[in-house]
Amino acid sequence: MSEKPMYLVLLGAPGAGKGTQAVLLVEKLGLVHVSSGDLFRENIGNKTELGVLAQSYMDRGELVPDGVTIQMVMERLSRPDCVSGVVLDGFPRTLAQAQSLDEALAARGDAIALALYVFVPQDALLRRLSGRWTCRQCKAVYHQEYSPPRHVGVCDVCGGEVYQRPDDMPETQKNRIEVYMRQTEPLIEYYRQAGVLAEVDGRGSVEEVQNMLLQVIRGIG
């Protein structure tokens, strides 16, 4: 792999498996996982001003405004652990976010290496979101049917409490998918035009999708 830091963007609808795949990719590629959703949930847990603001949007399945989102992610990307490269999960989600990211990377002589679009049809997205359980502590992701923890309610990795995200309730799920189609899908064309888009079929098993992603990433190495 080249010496230059590698910046990968994972694109896809809520429930497409971005978080699941990001965790595996960073392990294999020695990159850092930056999830805007996790950063917001940390702020909510710590009851920060940003957390209170973010929660009011997340509870409805709406996007948090660009200004605060861009600032939060840029601050995370400026930390020393990001120097070798990053897998971005959940960011960017609007054209303004994508342009800000490109500008920030260009200012330091970097660019997005690949935007990996993981496609999953809507009925499968809803099944995945309805059955998702997440560890409160280490953020490990489970599915009650496809990949349950060994003991109900207990994380296999750290022993933490496994809970259902409030925005995985049926009404919010539907709105999140609609918001994704309206505000985030245009990024597929944005990255296609930039010549960095790679499309991966997200309907297979976690391992199959991971292998396809690694194949594409290694293809540019």
Q: Minimum Å distance from CB 52 to ligand AP5?
A: 14
Q: Which of 18, 41, 128, 139 is catalytic?
A: 18
Question: For this structure, is 18 an active site residue?
Answer: yes
What are the tokens at 153? 């309610």
Q: Minimum Å distance from CB 6 to ligand AP5?
A: 20
Q: Minimum Å distance from CB 75 to ligand AP5?
A: 14
Query: Residue 22 and residue 191: Cα distance in Å, rounded?
Result: 19
User: By C-beta, is 15 or 85 nearer to ligand AP5?
Assistant: 15
Positions touching ligand AP5 (CB under 6 A) are 12, 14-20, 36-37, 40, 57-58, 61-64, 69, 90-91, 93, 97, 128, 131-132, 141-143, 146-147, 167, 176, 205-206, 209
Q: Give the catalytic positions in this structure.
A: 18, 93, 132, 165, 176
